């Protein structure tokens, strides 16, 4: 059964959501992300996806105090992305309580450095963040693109043991219009040794069930939770049956 992973996006220490990565579309949903995480943990989920949006924009972690507070409240895996540009950033994120680090810009722009981190910390802790806009990889908090397709990004890392990828279709992120299903089905088929997290567009539990039926392994859910399109009761029932 596909694993449902709630998302918490952070700006200024608050739980927010954007649409298609546009900071001007910011909407604050909760002042206390640690309380939000606790509610998710109470549903029986195993992992929370945390995104430091400010960190991604400024290329340095900006909400580590929030990560520390969340870690003090919940005993689940915390997958943290945003602003990890150096080894010092990576170590600081782990020290603050992250179980996994999602790394995108470094992987795209400095693949040898990403390979070093993958070797040092292992594929259980280093997750590749693959953010796609118009078929190309977006970097630096989605502010720019590089001339790489997702296959170009993935291929060098598979032989090194890469096992987890969060793949976000930026055009669908926060839009509640359904995921880019064919993209994920093709990726999972072509890279069977990698677990892909579907990210972007999830609008209801029907989307989750459809992805599950197609054999996808993980799905990240954000705005649908905050807008009440998916309820905590539904999350709890899904987690308990997994």
Which residue numbers are catalytic? 9, 131
Rounded to whole angstroms, how far apart are CA atoms 146 and 211?
29
CB 211 within 8 A of CB 179: yes
Rounded to whole angstroms, how far apart are CA atoms 94 and 86?
13
Which tokens belong to 15?
């739980």
DSSP H helical segments within the chain, as ranges?
A: 33-42, 53-58, 64-73, 87-95, 105-109, 111-121, 150-154, 181-190, 205-213, 223-226, 232-241
Cβ-count burial 72-92 (b if 16+ within 10 Å, e if not): ebbebebbbbbbbbeeebbeb
Which tokens belong to 34?
């640690």
């Amino acid at each position: 059964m596909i694993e449902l992973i709630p998302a918490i996006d952070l700006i200024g220490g608050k739980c927010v959501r954007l649409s298609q990565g546009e900071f001007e579309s910011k909407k604050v949903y909760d002042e206390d992300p640690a309380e939000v995480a606790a509610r998710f943990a109470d549903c029986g989920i195993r992992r929370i996806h945390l995104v430091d949006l400010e960190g991604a924009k400024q290329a340095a972690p900006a909400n580590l105090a929030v990560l520390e507070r969340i870690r003090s409240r919940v005993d689940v895996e915390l997958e943290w992305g945003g602003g990890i540009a150096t080894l010092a950033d990576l170590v600081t994120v782990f020290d603050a309580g992250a179980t996994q680090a999602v790394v995108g810009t470094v992987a795209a722009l400095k693949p040898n450095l990403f390979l070093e981190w993958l070797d040092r910390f292992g594929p259980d802790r280093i997750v590749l963040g693959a953010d796609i806009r118009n078929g190309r990889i977006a970097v630096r908090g989605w502010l720019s693109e590089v001339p790489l397709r997702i296959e170009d990004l993935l291929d060098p890392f598979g032989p090194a043991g890469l096992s987890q990828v969060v793949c976000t279709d930026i055009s669908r992120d926060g839009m509640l219009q359904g995921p880019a299903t064919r993209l994920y089905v093709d990726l999972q088929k072509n890279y069977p040794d990698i677990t892909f997290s579907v990210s972007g567009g999830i609008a209801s539990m029907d989307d989750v069930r459809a992805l599950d039926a197609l054999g996808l392994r993980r799905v990240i859910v954000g705005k649908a939770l905050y807008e009440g399109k998916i309820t905590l009761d539904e999350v709890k029932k899904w987690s308990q049956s997994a």
